[in-house]
Amino acid sequence: MGHAMNASTVTAAATLPATLRLGPVHLTVTDLDRSVTWYQDALGLRLHRREDALAAMGAGEDDVIVLHEEPGARPAGRHAGLYHYALLYPSREELARAALRLSATRTPIDGASDHETHEAIYLPDPDGNGIELAADRPRDAWPQHLGYAAGPRPLDFPALMQTIAGEQPTRHVEPGLRVGHLHLHVGDTRRGLAFYRDALGFELKADLGSAEFVSAGGYHHHLGFNVWKGQGVPPVPADVVGLRHWTVVLEHGAQVDEVRGRLGAAGIAVDAVDGGFAVRDPWNIELHVVAEPYRSRAVAATEKPQAYMRQVAKHFRHKLDVRFDDREAIVPFTFGYAVVRVAGDGELAIDAFSGTEAGLRRVEEVVGSHLERFGTQDELTVRFDGAPAR
């Protein structure tokens, strides 16, 4: 599968922090209704919010994918852009449940592999956007070559499914789902390394000649990029389905500023976005580097958690695209969102999220004050956990 791994040529001071994680992947689709239905049914994602031609989805926590509708977008062709993005499940059992859901919904797949560091199932969405469903093995079980030495093996489906033997398919994915990595088509792997390693600060994990794999913190890869569509393919056109932008999330603004400064020193232009900046690689593929969103939690004691969850959901759904079931409600605002969840007998949990501290405080105040008003007779008290976490 190519030649041996090479060490990164960048210094420790120029690398991205080990605490890096990947945020939402933004995709262009041609039919939003069709795509939302597919992601809900085939992958079990929850709809977090929907605004005109945009839908954000995930597992009821942070957004994982954001779909943008462009009815006239053309299918991707022979150019740079998305090869696939990976949805990373928190456990092998959750990947097995994803496979069970695919089987129950008769969703076709393109293949499945065992990469030694992780197991993976590959499939396209309705517009042909490539998806990898993955679960990592424990890091101490990863081989030194990170699975790149001899290529992947076929996935052992019977062994995977044995982890949930006897279970029935579930409607929704469980919390803990996140974006694991991106894999891109580019026109030149050396130019790709100059941008993603030398300027941005990822560390090289494997050089396969026709493909490169880079990461932060010793991960097997946060990003892969290849020339499998041809050396010198052109940049991403503006009017095709596929990747609009992907997201790197750092712990705090100082880290974002450091990366911004490194790119500026390399003469690479950036644009401001909420929480950070946007930058484009040599093939016009857009990346956002942002700080962690603000978040907080309240747990309210009540004998009627489900009743109050449903009451707040029904109140806000007259003006907002609230989604709820018997256990939780997701309430989207323009300044953030709240997840109101039945946490157990006698407890109602409220998680607030926003890109700014001011937005977080608004989410807390709006949702908390309504719940307390609804629960006046029961003396319901909602108190968020102090200073916002990031």
Q: How do 294-301 and 286-291 pair as beta strands?
A: unpaired
How sure is the predictor about 11, in pLDDT bands with cuts at 50, 70 and 90?
A: very low
DSSP assignment letter at 326: S
How sure is the predictor about 387, in pLDDT bands with cuts at 50, 70 and 90?
A: low
How sure is the predictor about 162, in pLDDT bands with cuts at 50, 70 and 90?
A: very high
Same domain flag for 178 and 275: yes
9 has a pLDDT exceeding 50: no
Assigned domain for 25 exists: yes
Q: Which domain holds residue 334?
A: 294-378
- Which among 367, 365, 363, 366 is positioned nearest to 355, based on CA atoms? 363
The answer for residues whose C-beta is within 8 angstroms of residue 313's C-beta and 6 or more apart is 322, 324, 329, 331, 340
Phi and psi at 187, nearest 5°, equal -100, -10
Q: Model-level pTM?
A: 0.83
Domain count within the chain: 2
2 has a pLDDT exceeding 50: no
Tell me what the pLDDT averaged over the chain comes to.
91
**What percent of the chain has pLDDT above 90?**
78
Phi and psi at 377, nearest 5°, equal -65, -35
Q: What angle do CA 80, 86, 87 make, to 5 degrees?
A: 145
Per-residue pLDDT of 184-219, as tens digits, reads 999 999 999 999 999 999 999 999 999 999 999 999
We report the CATH number of the domain holding residue 370 as: 3.30.310.50
Assigned domain for 386 exists: no
How sure is the predictor about 7, in pLDDT bands with cuts at 50, 70 and 90?
A: very low
Same domain flag for 151 and 61: yes
The answer for residues whose C-beta is within 8 angstroms of residue 153's C-beta and 6 or more apart is 113, 114, 116
Same domain flag for 162 and 273: yes
Most confident of 226-230, 323-327, 347-351: 226-230
Give the three-state DSSP class for 356: coil
Same domain flag for 37 and 168: yes
Section 308-316 average pLDDT: 93
pLDDT in the model for residue 3:
32
Section 5-13 average pLDDT: 39
Hunting for tokens 């008003």 — which residue is that? 373
Other CB atoms within a 10 A radius of the CB of residue 75 amount to 10
